[in-house]
Amino acid sequence: MLQQLFRSPMALLCMGIIFITALLGIFAPWVAPNDPYANDILNKFAGPSWQYPLGTDQLGRCVFSRMLFGIRPTLFLSLLTMLGTIGIGVVMGITAGYFRGTVDEIIMRVVDVMLSFPSQIIILAVVALLGVDIRNVVLASIFIKWAWYARMIRTATIKYTSMNFVLFSRSIGSGNFFILTRHMLPCIAAELAVLASLDTGWAILNISTLSFLGLGVQAPTPEWGAMLNEAKNVMVSNPEQMIVPGLAVVVLVGACNMLGDCLRDALDPKAVRQ
Amino acid sequence: MSTLLEAHNIRVSFKKENQTRLFGKERQQVLRGISLHLEEGECLGIIGESGSGKSTLGRVLSGLLRPEEGTITLDGQDLYGHHTRAEARALRHMLSVVFQDYTSSTNPRFRVSSIIGESLRALEHATGERIDRKRRVAELLEQVGLPESFAIRYPHELSGGQLQRVCIARALAIRPRIILLDEAISSLDASTQVQVMDLLAALRRELSLSYLFITHDLTSITYLCDRVVFMNQGEIVEQVDDITKIASITSPYARQLLEAVMGIGCEHGSGQEQASDEAWVA
């Protein structure tokens, strides 16, 4: 399964991009050439140089250093969001899909209610209610997104519940917990991996969007969406300011989405050996 | 011989999907009062066309679907009655199932050793004894005529007949007294069918098992079973207690089924009947 994944060049490329980005984010204080908060107002909008590899912004801060420090909120908060949504979604989805009946009805009606709100609007509403803070953005994202997961996972679970191997397992008296963890989870793992990597992409975009709107990470903390927002103000005079954070978001989200595709191929057991 | 399994007046109905009214409660009767019994060491064939309710009956008998009415007694104990945990577990490993569709009856992510190992785990839980799983898997594979090296294979690396043997090994692993074969050989090709039936016959002698053999195929019934019941529209329409006298059946449905399989041979009496039947199987 993993061998198959490592054999695909696209998967390697995507995992490489995400892995290196994560490493750069973790070791940002040692990698960054400058302090991301240090102003050098005389050198504002400077071009690339040895001192500032990617130039400086409107306050003369090193763009490269800010990019590196910006990985932390962007990537790690989106991973946190993804784990949260997957955790709740899997538990709810499997419970609803496997036990059916009343439990299913209750969970799915809650899910219906959640899904009937447009996700961006409810995130804005939650942020407005709880205050402008990145923690509230993460909470709101988990709150709105788990329902979507629960529905997808419920469908996958129902598909496998009527399979003969689950029936056999029940007929010989294996416990529900055993069936759910040993049969169900591995079976829906393929769907789960795809959903997870796609969702990480979504979460990155979402956190960047809200920071861009000024509702997520607050200035002066470096964050890619917030950097784009600052660059937007000088869009006409210094358009190159938008390129670096914009490109970084596109590449990282693209890598997450492509990795989702590759994972789906690799987790299909029939495709393991052609 | 004692009665191992007895079903009395089983009724099952399902809610119809295409209701004529909004929130309608129309139900489709699937089993209408089935009663049957299985003696120790015998093989009872249950035959019927598609949709006659025989697979539903299989689910009821294997403890997966609680009937609306009727009782099932396994070795004197009510299958759907109230039990302590230990009793329930003991009941569970009395009866084992082999399904028709071998592609979906094993988890595609499990190796053969884990497929059989799951049954061994259930048996460990039911009896509380420790089992050397690796050795037992090898023994079971040998019992169903597969090499030990198959233990590390995945289901998609086996042929249909081999996988069905693995399913039989898995069913045997919980040391059942009854095996329910739900169309277990119907999806195999003719020569593999005979091999698997021979295997089943041999295992039955060796381990003194009882079989409940659900099928739509009359030739395999005559090859393996001692008694046969004919099902149609959720009812038992005919019961033959001596398989050699199968040509003497009277009900029109069973007659029709028999003629469809046997062609024109069956009006000449049972002796000839049996001969042509064996020729067909061979």
A48 assigned to some structural domain? no
Instruction: Identify the residue whose tokens are 């439990």.
Output: A103
CB-nearest to B104 from A163, A173, A174 is A163
pLDDT per residue as tens digits for the range A104-126: 999 999 999 988 888 888 888 88
**Owning domain of residue A259:** 2-31+53-271
ipTM value for the complex? 0.77
Confidence of residue A144 (pLDDT cuts 50, 70, 90): confident
**CATH code at position A112:** 1.10.3720.10
A38 assigned to some structural domain? no
pLDDT per residue as tens digits for the range A222-240: 888 888 888 888 878 877 7
A146 exposure class (CB count in 10 Å sphere: 0-12, 13-18, 19+): buried
> Which chain A residue shows the shortest CA-CA distance from B125?
A174
Confidence of residue B270 (pLDDT cuts 50, 70, 90): very low
A189 assigned to some structural domain? yes
According to DSSP, the β-strands at B227-232 and B43-48 are parallel
B90: chain A residues, CB-CB within 8 Å: none
Residue A73 backbone phi and psi in degrees, to 5: -65, -40
Confidence of residue A1 (pLDDT cuts 50, 70, 90): low
Across the interface, whether the CB atoms of A269 and B101 are under 8 A apart is answered: no
A41 assigned to some structural domain? no
Helices A240-266 and A9-26: angle between axes, nearest 10 degrees:
130
B186 assigned to some structural domain? no
A272: chain B residues, CB-CB within 8 Å: 154
Nearest CA among B129, B181, B173, B174 for reference residue B151: B173
A43 assigned to some structural domain? no
Nearest CA among A125, A257, A124 for reference residue A202: A257
Q: Which residues of A touch B (CB under 8 A)?
A: 163-165, 167-175, 178, 182-183, 186-187, 269-270, 272-273
- For chain A, how many structural domains are there in total? 1
- For chain B, how many structural domains are there in total? 1
Could you give the angle at the alpha carbon of B231 between the alpha carbons of B227 and B233, nearest 5°?
A: 175
Minimum distance, in Å, between the CA of residue B92 and any CA atom of chain A: 5
HSE-up (13 A, CA, CB side) for residue B45: 24
For chain B, give the mean pLDDT. Answer: 79
The average pLDDT across A132-136 equals 83
Query: What sign does the dihedral B272-B273-B274-B276 (CA atoms) show?
Result: positive
Across the interface, whether the CB atoms of A171 and B64 are under 8 A apart is answered: yes
**Owning domain of residue B223:** 1-78+218-277
**B119/B241 Cα distance (integer angstroms):** 33
Helices A134-161 and A101-115: angle between axes, nearest 10 degrees:
140
| Cα B282 to Cα A158, A187, B222, distances in angstroms | 42, 41, 13
**CATH code at position B239:** 3.40.50.300
Asked if B15 reaches chain A (Cβ–Cβ under 8 Å), the answer is no
Q: What percent of chain B has pLDDT over 70?
A: 89
Q: Which of B100, B109, B178 to mutate to test the interface with A (most CBs of A within 10 A)?
A: B109
